[in-house]
Amino acid sequence: MYDILWNAASFIVALGLLITAHEYGHFYIARRCGVKVERFSVGFGKPIWRRVGQDGTEYVIAMIPLGGYVKMLDERVDDVPAALQSQAFNRKNVWQRIAIVAAGPVANFIFAVFALYIMYLIGVPSLKPVINATHENSAASVITVTEPMQILAVSGQKVRNWEEVNLALVGHIGDDSLSLTLAPLARLEGQSGGERTYTLDTRNWRFDPEKESPISTLGLGMLRPQVLPLVGAVTPGSAADEAGIKAGDEIVGIDGVRYGGWEWFVTTIQSSANKPLQVTIKRGGEQKQLTATPKLGKDAHGKDVGLIGITPQASELPETMRIQLKYGVLDSLAVAADKTWQLSVVSVKMIGKLFTGDVSVKNLSGPISIAQGAGNSANYGLVYFLGFLALISVNLGIINLLPLPVLDGGHLLYYFVEVITGKPVPEKVQEIGFRFGAALLLMLMSIALFNDFARL
């Protein structure tokens, strides 16, 4: 219950910030163009807070936090007194109307830059993208790894951590090939040279972004901390807790079979739901046998498995593997702008590949998935929540620029037709377009919601 409330609260905060930024973009440029704004609303439905400013605009926070709007004086919607007609939106020239409509998505991109700017000022703790192996019969098997190697670039795009590698790889879904530039970690730490670029054949590279990592499915073996045969933590009320297993215990074996690594341990536990197991542990130099019965639960993919409630200890990675992505006042702005551009490019590519079929519609996410993402990122801390806000803000800006008549992009399409033809698009044509756009948008939202419920 706590997780649901936390996710919901994080979602409302995130959406409120993004909607406010988007609508303020419309509001600010409308006012600069001399349009009278009657209402600035964050949310829909019944107002829970309202105030009328000295400018005559009614500012509202409404009950349903799933959108917002800026109501401008418009003769196409209401009767406008003759004295105020010059302040009506429809009386402005086409370039002013384009500026007002485009300002919403532009504000989302500016907000993304701002969020990332703050994030890089604070600093983002990260790990260098280092591999120590490649998987056989994978796209990455063309790379021979004899020592830890750091990924420096993906298809010419520089990367600094695993998050950036992941983002760059996702943009190549459906492509025939991609390239990786690597160099031995030891040379990067004290020597120069050794860089080499490999071209990977990705024609047969397929994976589910919701369940699989592009890094592992490509065949890259990440250098990770070594999992030790020591209990790091025990979940209260779990099978391990009930059996008397404690943090710090060394796992010796199960049912007389000696410990064969963490993967072996997990496989044994998962295949033994509701089956008593004799777990041999060492505590204070003394071996003990404890009976633990894994409880039936579900793994990350929703499959029924046995769960015992143990988190292992792991060895520490060398400090040279850790980096802090932190920049100065001016450098942070440049890095934030570049990151926003990268996010925008990948988002546009993914939308294009959605229409070409390279990416399945099953990967569309709705409000439930976004709420979970908001809650998870907020759990990790402010810098990660800021990164999440930037990603969603970029996506919101791009989606609103799609040429669907119910979105800002649809309005812009009509206005650019007006620029070319010299006259407005007929009202009947616009109405037909709005109905078509609403139907298509409703269909996409329905698919996204269905996907959300399917993932629960």
Q: CB–CB of 152/158 below 8 Å?
A: yes
Task: Kindly state the tokens that stand for 339.
Answer: 């990151």
Task: Kindly state the tokens that stand for 239.
Answer: 């099978």
Helix (H) or strand (E) holding 353: helix 329-356
Q: CB–CB of 411/405 below 8 Å?
A: yes
For 57-61, which contacts have Cβ atoms below 8 Å and span 24 or more sequence positions?
Answer: 57/27
Q: Is 368 helix (H, G, I), strand (E, B) or coil?
A: helix
Q: CB–CB of 52/105 below 8 Å?
A: no
Task: Kindly state the tokens that stand for 381.
Answer: 């801390």
Alpha carbon separation from 302 to 237, 297, 299, 455 (Å, rounded):
21, 9, 5, 8
Q: Where are the beta strands (DSSP E) in 284-362?
A: 286-292, 295-298, 304-307, 310-314, 322-325
- Going by C-alpha positions, the residue among 275, 288, 190, 293 that lies closest to residue 239 is 293
71 - beta bridge partners? 39
Report the distance separating Cα 220 and Cα 165, nearest Å: 11
Q: CB–CB of 270/298 below 8 Å?
A: no
What single-letter DSSP state applies at residue 245?
-
Active site residue 23: yes
Report the distance separating Cα 108 and Cα 68, nearest Å: 14
Q: Where are the beta strands (DSSP E) in 135-261?
A: 149-154, 157-158, 177-184, 196-201, 220-222, 227-234, 250-254, 257-258
Judged by phi (left if over 0) then psi (alpha if -120 to 50, else beta), residue 357 lies in left
Show which residues are catalytic.
23
